[in-house]
Amino acid sequence: MRLYVDANFASPYALVAFVSLIEKGLKFDIETLDLAAHANHDPNFAKTSITRRIPTLIHDEFALSESSAICEYLDETFAGTRLYPSNPRDRARARQIQAWLRSDLMPIRDERPTFVVFFGAHRPALSERARGAADRLFSAALTLLDGRTDNLFGAWSIADVDLAMMLQRLIVLGDPVPQRLIDYASHQWRRPSVEQWVRKKRPPLVEY
C-alpha cells in the first residue's frame, strides 16, 4: 500500500488520509510529490492518479484520490479504529462536515493556508470576509460540540481531524478563537496518529 502526499507534508487532505491509515493499523509507504514543481502532472503519476491530485492511495492495483473517498474506502475495507460513527445520522453528519470544510470558508483557506500551521509562517490580519467566515466556522463548531466532551460524536472520528485542522489555521497565528474550540483542537492535535504527521521532518517551505 502506498500513499502519495505533498513534499511539504502540509496538505490538510493528505493529513486525514495519513491519519486514517495509521488508525487502521495498516502498513504503507509514503511517496512525496513536489507540487511547486508540478510533479503531480508528471506522466508517470498521471497514469497512477486519474485526477493527478494528492493524496492518492494505491492498494494493490486500485488507485484512489480525494481524501474523503480514501477515508471512506479504508473504513469500509479494513478493521481497526472506526473512522466514521456507526450511527447513520452521525455518519452522515461527519461526511457533511468534511464536505463543508472542503467546499466553503474560502477566505480562511486563502488567508490562512495550512503551511502557517506547520511552518510558523506570518500572515496579515484577517480581512473582513475572513472574519465573517471565521464567525460562521465558530458558530457551527460550537453547535456541533454542544454537550460533547472532546470529540464531535462522543467517540473520535476522522471528521474531528478535519475540523481541528481548520481551527488550527487560526489558532497558530493568534487569531481570536473561542477557548472551547482551542481546547478541542489542541486535544485532537495530541492524538498519536495526528502527532505523527505534525512531527514529520519537513523541507524548507516552498509555497504553492
The reply to whether 21 falls in a domain is: yes
| Domain co-membership, 74 together with 105 | no
CA distance 18 to 4: 10
pLDDT in tens, 24-75: 999 999 999 888 888 788 888 888 888 888 899 999 989 999 999 999 999 9
Which residues, 6+ apart, have CB-to-CB distance to 76 below 8 Å? none
Residue ranges of the chain whose pLDDT lies below 70: 205-208
Residues 64 and 95 in one domain: no
CATH assignment of the domain containing 55? 3.40.30.10
The CATH number for 137's domain is 1.20.1050.10
Do 100 and 170 reside in the same domain of the chain?
Answer: yes
Q: Are residues 26 and 109 in the same domain?
A: no
CA torsion sign, 182 to 117 to 155 to 143? positive
Q: Which domain holds residue 48?
A: 2-81+194-198
Q: Are residues 95 and 184 in the same domain?
A: yes
pLDDT at 149: 80
pLDDT at 158: 98
pLDDT of the residue at 203: 81
* Secondary structure of 34-86 as H, E, C letters: CHHHCHHHCHHHHHHCCCCCCCEEEECCEEEECHHHHHHHHHHHCCCCCCCCC
Task: Give which of 77, 45, 48 is closest to 61, Cα–Cα.
Answer: 48
Please tell me the total count of domains within the chain: 2
Alpha carbons 99 and 181: distance in angstroms, whole number:
20
As a whole number of angstroms, the distance between CA 169 and CA 112 comes to 6
How many whole angstroms separate alpha carbon 149 and alpha carbon 159?
Answer: 15
pLDDT confidence of residue 208? 46
Claim to verify: residue 55 and residue 149 sit in the same structural domain:
no
Q: Is residue 129 part of a domain?
A: yes
Rounded distance, CA 7 to CA 5, Å? 6
Percent helix, strand and coil across the chain, each rounded to 5? 55, 10, 35
Report pLDDT for 122.
Answer: 82
Q: Is residue 207 part of a domain?
A: no
Residue 53 amino acid letter: R
* Chain-centre distance for alpha carbon 147: 24
